[in-house]
Amino acid sequence: MRGSQWRLQDAKTQFSQVVDAALLGEPQHVTRRGREAVVVLSEANYRALRESARASAPGFVAHLLAIPKDEEPLAKSRRIALRDMDL
């Protein structure tokens, strides 16, 4: 295959070319049996991608603060009388 897409067999035999292209900043896509399988990235691109994902993800506190708040407390909304229960 040409460009940034490789069949697995070709990527194996020309792995140094796959790595060289990835080091130049171009992700290398590898297919297996005609389907997209993996992407080869340089270490620098991989780290930048991870940092970007980490920076855009909300923190745990922000996640907790985003939980919808119920106007009526749980205790008031679910009153169950003992007479209504079979013991």
At 20-32, the pLDDT tens digits run: 999 999 999 999 9
Mean pLDDT rounded to a whole number for the chain: 86
- Does 77 reside within a domain? no
Q: Which domain holds residue 11?
A: 5-65
- Does 75 reside within a domain? no
- Does 71 reside within a domain? no
Q: Is 65 exposed, middle or buried (0-12, 13-18, 19+ CB in 10 A)?
A: exposed
CA dist 40 and 7 (Å) reads 13
Q: What is the pLDDT of residue 59?
A: 85
Q: pLDDT (tens digit, 9 = 90+) per residue, 58-68?
A: 888 888 888 88
- Does 52 reside within a domain? yes
Q: Is 39 exposed, middle or buried (0-12, 13-18, 19+ CB in 10 A)?
A: middle
Looking at residue 15, which CATH number applies to its domain?
3.40.1620.10
- Does 12 reside within a domain? yes
Q: What is the pLDDT of residue 70?
A: 76
- Please tell me the total count of domains within the chain: 1
